[in-house]
Amino acid sequence: MLIKNVLQFRYKLYFNLVNKIQVRNTSQSSVGFIGLGNMGSNMAQNLLNKGHRLVVYDVYPEAMAALADKGALIAHSPADVANKCDRIISMLPTCAHVRQVYCGDNGVLSQVKTGTLLIDSSTIDPQTSQQMASEAQTKGAVFLDAPVSGAVPAARAATLTFMVGGNAIEVEAIKDLLLSMGKNVFHCGPVGTGAVAKICNNMMLAISMIGLSETLNLAKNLGLEPQLMTKILNVSSGRSWSSEVYNPVPGLGQNLPAGNEYKGGFMTQLITKDLGLAQSSATRVNSPTPLGTLSHQIYRLMKNNGYSDKDFSSVYKFFQDFDQKS
**What phi, psi does 59 have (nearest 5°)?**
-70, -15
List the end-to-end C-alpha distance of the chain, in Å, as a whole number: 75
Looking at the DSSP bridge assignments, the partners of residue 184 are 161
| Those residues with Cβ within 8 angstroms of residue 214's Cβ, 6 or more apart along the chain or in another chain | 319
**What phi, psi does 160 have (nearest 5°)?**
-65, 155
- Is 55 in a helix, a strand, or coil? strand
| Those residues with Cβ within 8 angstroms of residue 212's Cβ, 6 or more apart along the chain or in another chain | 233, 240, 242, 243, 247, 248, 316
Dist. CA 44–CA 49, nearest whole Å? 9
DSSP 21-32: HHHHHHTTS-EE
**Catalytic residue status for 198:** yes
Nearest to 51, CA basis, from 75, 80, 24, 31: 31
Q: Note whether 149 and 182 are within 8 A (CB).
A: no
Question: Of 198, 220, 303, 317, which is the active-site residue?
Answer: 198
Q: Could you list the active site residues?
A: 198
